[in-house]
Amino acid sequence: MVARADFEHSDGADGAEVRFTGRLTLARLGDVPARIEALGPIATIDLSAIDRIDTVGAWIVTRTAKEHGSKITGASAEAERLLDALASDKSEYRVHRDQRPAWARMLEQVGTASVAIWHELLGIIGFFGAMIIALFIQIRARRRLRWNAVITRFQAVGVDALPIIGLMSFLIGIVIAQQGAVQLEQFGLEVFTINLVGRISIRELGLLMTAIMVAGRSGSAFAAQIGTMKLTEEIDAMRTIGVSPMEAIVLPRVAASTITMPLLGFYASLCAIAGGGVFCWVGLDIPPLTYVQRLREIIPMTDFWIMLIKAPVFGILIGVTGCYEGMQVRQNAEEVGRRTTSAVVAAIFLVIVLDAFFAVFFSTLGWN
């Protein structure tokens, strides 16, 4: 029977003298570490009676010797080798609190985040350039776009998103109308709630909320799908057989999101206007016919053209960002989740930044 690890001890002038016996290995240690710690000062550790020792046993001996300043005797050649290896290991496992001032740590975090965002932006721009080059190569070689893949993504990005986008836009229209009516009621101008709902739905909010929803649904799906393909080496297999992943995977997804965004944005704007109309009818006693006639008077065509200009740009941005993050997956499944989150965050951030840029740009042109 294999002997369990144990020890004998006797009191000496400078402390206890400990003599280990049996197998000083992980499987046979038992409660030896706890009993050793309860002994108090230890002057000598004798290893002459042990049958075998492994790294864990040697670590316990080394730790005990360091804590008590003990002398180790009777070690075999194998034990000496393990003890020397552990003694030469200078690594420190304790976590030390950062002693720098809070403002210095904050500045470091801001700088690190800024550099990461800059590199991410450069990567997305470079990926967009590579996609444009692949598109020109495809056109020059007279290869048709993979319309079957585009239609499949059109179904996922557009048709499947209609219920959630419609419901969300309808409810947002109600909220805008209610909050606007509460504020305008103070001045007796509740009728201008129609102006508020109509202009903001067509020009800004309908498309912006749609872009955020598409980024959360489709941008994340693009990143997760392509990231999984990277892990399973399907992308490498496509390159091996001479198929360009940019043409087969990226272009159909970006094309689907670009074509779908104007349609979804217009649909969301109509749903938001419908929601505002329901509130005006029920809460403000404005008949639907009056509501529609007022909308025709106050919504200029420039708002509609602004929406149609911004929508494809947002679609390209969401598609490129999702595909780029998916292509960056390198190591494991955890990377897929991290890149999927990055795709959503980056797409929403860039959409809002571009929307602010468009607002300033069109105001400068006088399209107010």
Confidence of residue 8 (pLDDT cuts 50, 70, 90): confident
Q: Are residues 77 and 163 in the same domain?
A: no
86 with 63: CB under 8 angstroms? no
Reply yes or no on whether the pLDDT at 153 is more than 80.
yes
Does residue 244 belong to any structural domain of this protein?
A: yes
pLDDT for 45: 85
Whether residue 1 has pLDDT greater than 60 = no
The verdict on residue 92 lying in a domain is: no
Residue found under tokens 């693009």? 222
On whether residue 283 sits in a domain, the answer given is yes
Last residue of a domain, one of 63, 87, 111: 87
| Counted domains in the chain | 2
Identify whether residues 195 and 51 lie together within a single domain: no
Average pLDDT for residues 171-177, to the nearest whole number?
Answer: 92
User: What is the pLDDT at residue 100?
Assistant: 79
Say whether both 261 and 168 belong to one domain. yes
Q: Kindly state whether residues 22 and 140 are assigned to the same domain.
A: no
Query: Does 117 fall in a domain?
Result: no
Q: Residue 33 is part of which domain span? A: 6-87
Residues 144 and 73 occupy one common structural domain: no
Res 47: pLDDT? 86
- Short-list 326, 171, 152, CA closest to 252: 152
φ and ψ of 51, to 5 deg:
-85, -35
CATH value at residue 11: 3.30.750.24
d(CA 293, CA 285): 15
Position with higher pLDDT, 257 vs 186: 257
Amino acid at 237: A
Residues 24 and 148 in one domain: no
What percent of the chain stands above pLDDT 90? 29
Quickly state the pLDDT bin for 2 (edges 50, 70, 90).
low
Rounded mean pLDDT, 97-120: 85
Phi, psi (degrees; rounded to nearest 5) at 283: -90, -30
30: region left, alpha or beta (phi > 0 left; psi from -120 to 50 alpha): left
- How many CB atoms lie under 10 A from the CB of residue 303? 21
For range 87-111, the mean pLDDT: 73
If pLDDT is split at 50, 70 and 90, which confidence band does 186 have?
Answer: confident
Average pLDDT, stretch 85-103? 67
Residue 95 included in any domain? no
Cut 0.85: pTM above it: no
Same domain? 142 vs 81: no
Structure confidence at residue 96 (pLDDT): 60
Q: Is the pLDDT of residue 368 over 80?
A: no
12 within some domain: yes
pLDDT for the residue 324: 93
140 and 55 within one domain = no
How does pLDDT run across 286-316, given as a tens digit for each residue?
Answer: 888 989 998 888 888 888 899 999 999 999 9
Q: Are residues 170 and 319 in the same domain?
A: yes
Task: Confirm whether 94 is domain-assigned.
Answer: no
105 in a domain, yes or no?
no
- Average pLDDT, integer, range 219-233: 90
pLDDT at residue 261, rounded to an integer:
93
